[in-house]
Amino acid sequence: MTNILCIGAGYVGGSTMPVFASHCPEDRFVIVDINPARIAAWQSDQLPIYEPGLEEIVQQTRGKNLFFSTEVNRHIAEADIIFVSVNTPTKTFGHGAGRAADLQFWEKTARQIVENSTSSKIVVEKSTLPVRTAEAMERILNSNGKGLFFDVLSNPEFLAEGTAIRDMQNPDRVLVGGRETPSGRKAVEKLVELYARWVPRERIITTNLWSSELSKLVANAFLAQRISSINSISAVCEKTEADVSEVANAIGRDARIGSRFLQASVGFGGSCFKKDILNLVYLCEHYGLPEVARYWEQVVLMNEYQEARFASNMVASMFNTVAGKRIALFGAAFKAHTSDTRESPALAVCRALLEERAEIVITDPYALDNACEDLKDLGGRITYEIDPYAAAKNAHAIAILTEWPQYAQLDYERIYQSMTKPAFLFDGRNLLNHKKLYELGFNVYAIGKPALTRLVNQGIVAA
Ligand code: UDX
Ligand code: ADP
């Protein structure tokens, strides 16, 4: 039996370890966190994160070979392998503020591992980290004065929220980076063996430590770049009467380009894309590569432009003022099937409209609590409403900001009847049937598509 510990019971630790536990019934998995409320939630029926399929797996494994605890020190002492998935937010202070990763939680964890270990261990970086963090970690861990040796591995997480369990069950690839020493190779093999219980060997890639660390940043940078690229084209489409969905389909059919991740939107969000790109930008600057830094930074700037452009288009379309107008935001989560609102474009649009003094009502099936927490600096200026029909009642406009499939199933005739006229609909995810909405009476504005509007005198392209 191998004792496996995961430090950090957030999205990453909380969705990967239960899957490990279900495939490795003879090994023992413990997830620890310094936050007692989080651990209590993991031990209850109300898990702290919403992820399809997660509840079932936790129920199957919890109390058998999967345990949640706040006793970090005791479990460090017992562990053979330690996964570290503590948060690595963007630094908000000092050198590299706004770009570099804040490694204070990581370093604290490394020191805690040293203090509490009585045997040599494998330590696996699971959080996204700047390249060469493993080197610093090795130095901290191996200056222990106890004669212990720690192998540091990099095993970045590629799972996407909303499909985390599916991604972990059936990954495109698993990446394990390690030192090219006999001990390093042995440690890599040990981790590969764990994954090989359910992942075909040919999908497990092993590399050196630095390639593995860098690949995580690069994968997210490339994915985000595709979205910023298609979003930049959406702006061109809106000026030329081209349709961004048609353009995406036409280019995506080229096998060299591929069709996925070409959905134009109000912008990308989530805890990873922006943070990882800024991390890459910082790294490039650090290594004296300013041109490369500017190249990748533009992916983030284009995303901010898209969010701002969406909000200002709303204002411009509604006779250049939204002051005092009720606007219903459909969706707060950064994408469908998650309650996560970190870096959600919905929140950016909300803030921009509040600046214009709109009256905002937000609806979302799962993310209202998180949205309320994120926007609490705005006090009581926003209404939260779980029922989309109630949210839309008397509104001048609806903005679709998260692609929840249920929003495509609503009775828009009923919604239209309940709204203030002229009624506006801004589809930030190109989720709805725009022609049908137009026929119901809406003025429809979608990303990268000609506007379908009855307001012919405003100089807007008329249908
Ligand atoms: C991402 C990576 O996909 C994952 O591999 C990595 O481990 C973590 O970061 P995640 O942030 O969970 O995962 O979500 P993802 O599905 O990648 O979507 C990110 C954002 O891009 C969302 O806001 C989504 O709505 C947006 N998006 C995605 C688009 O706007 N258009 C697309 O075509 C795809
Ligand atoms: P991610 O999305 O990368 O999983 P989260 O912020 O959701 O990130 O989770 C990280 C978790 O790590 C948090 O629950 C936080 O309380 C926990 N954490 C941070 N530092 C420590 C530490 N030193 N020991 C244990 N847990 C920690």
How does the average pLDDT of the chain come out, rounded?
Answer: 94
| Domain locations in the chain as residue ranges | 3-199, 206-463
* Bridge partners of residue 362, in order along the sequence: 329, 384
Distances (CA, A) of 192 to 26, 77, 106, 173, 240: 16, 23, 23, 12, 51
CA distance 319 to 77: 65
Give yes or no on whether 3-199 and 206-463 have one common fold.
yes
DSSP 11-48: HHHHHHHHHHHHH-TTSEEEEE-S-HHHHHHHTSSS-S
Q: Is the CB of 344 under 6 A from ligand 2?
A: no
Task: Note the pLDDT tens digit of each residue in 256-280.
Answer: 999 999 999 999 999 999 999 999 9
H or E element: which one contains 67? Answer: strand 66-69
Q: Is 60 exceeded by the pLDDT of residue 251?
A: yes
The neighbour count for residue 397, using CB atoms within 10 Å, is: 26
- The whole-number average pLDDT for the span 116-130 is 90
Band of pLDDT at residue 301, cut at 50, 70 and 90: very high
Q: What pLDDT, in 10s, does the model give residues 23-39?
A: 999 999 999 999 999 99
Determine whether the shortest distance from the Cβ of 269 to ligand 1 is under 6 A.
yes
DSSP 106-126: HHHHHHHHHHH-SS-EEEEE-
Of the candidates 333, 320, 324, 308, the one whose C-alpha atom is nearest the C-alpha of residue 381 is 324
Task: Report helix, strand or coil for 223.
Answer: helix
- Contact 108 CB / ligand 2 (< 6 Å): yes
85 lines ligand 2 (CB under 6 A): yes
Q: Is the pLDDT of residue 249 over 50?
A: yes
More confident site: 290 or 144: 290
CB of residue 86 inside a 6 A radius of ligand 2: yes
81-84 vs 174-178, strand pairing mode: unpaired
**Could you tell me what percent of the chain has a pLDDT over 70?**
98
Q: Which is it for strands 150-154 and 424-427: parallel, antiparallel or unpaired?
A: unpaired
Helices 54-61 and 11-23 meet at what angle, rounded to 10?
50
- Model confidence pLDDT, tens digit, residues 400-457: 999 999 999 999 999 999 999 999 999 999 999 999 999 999 999 999 999 999 875 4
Model pTM above 0.75: yes
Token representation of residue 20 = 């490990």
CB 293 within 8 A of CB 99: no
**Level-2 CATH architecture, domain 3-199:** 3-Layer(aba) Sandwich (3.40)
pLDDT digits (tens, 9 = 90+) for 209-236: 999 999 999 999 999 999 999 999 999 9
* CB of residue 375 inside a 6 A radius of ligand 2: no
- Tell me how far apart the alpha carbons of residues 25 and 372 are, in angstroms, rounded to a whole number: 39
Q: Which pLDDT score is estimated for 210?
A: 92
Q: Which fold has domain 206-463?
A: Rossmann fold (3.40.50)
Q: What is the pLDDT, as a whole number, of residue 102?
A: 83
Q: Which ligand is nearest to the CA of 274?
A: 1
- In the three-class reduction of DSSP (H, G, I as helix; E, B as strand; rest coil), residue 88 is classed as coil
| pLDDT value at residue 262 | 98
What distance in angstroms lies between residue 98's CA and the mean position of ligand 1's atoms?
21
Decide: helix, strand or coil at residue 252.
Answer: helix
What is the reported pLDDT for 151?
97
Query: What's the gap in Å between 417 CA and the centre of ligand 2?
Result: 47
Q: Measured in angstroms, how far is the CA atom of residue 411 from the centroid of ligand 2?
A: 41
Point out the ligand 1 atom lying closest to the alpha carbon of residue 343: 23
* Residue 128 alpha carbon, nearest atom of ligand 2: 3
Q: Which token pair is 402?
A: 């998260």
Which ligand lies nearest the alpha carbon of 429? 1
Q: Which residues are designated catalytic?
A: 272
Q: 33: Cβ below 6 Å to ligand 2?
A: yes
Q: Write the DSSP symbol of residue 337.
A: T
pLDDT classification of 459: cutoffs 50, 70, 90 = very low
Cβ proximity of 327 and 391 under 8 Å: no
pLDDT at res. 456: 59
Q: Which of 87, 128, 159 to mutate to test the pocket of ligand 2 (most atoms within 8 A of CB)?
A: 87
Query: What is the Cα–Cα distance from 379 to 222, expressed in whole angstroms?
Result: 37
- Distance, in Å, from the CA atom of 185 to the CA atom of 171, rounded to the nearest integer, reads 22
The answer to which of 56-65, 143-152, 324-333 has the lowest mean pLDDT is 143-152
Residue 379: pLDDT above 90? no
433, two tokens: 């049937």
Reduce the DSSP state of residue 186 to 3 states and report it: helix
Q: What is the pLDDT of residue 461?
A: 45
Does 133 score more than 70 pLDDT? yes
Amino acid at 280: L
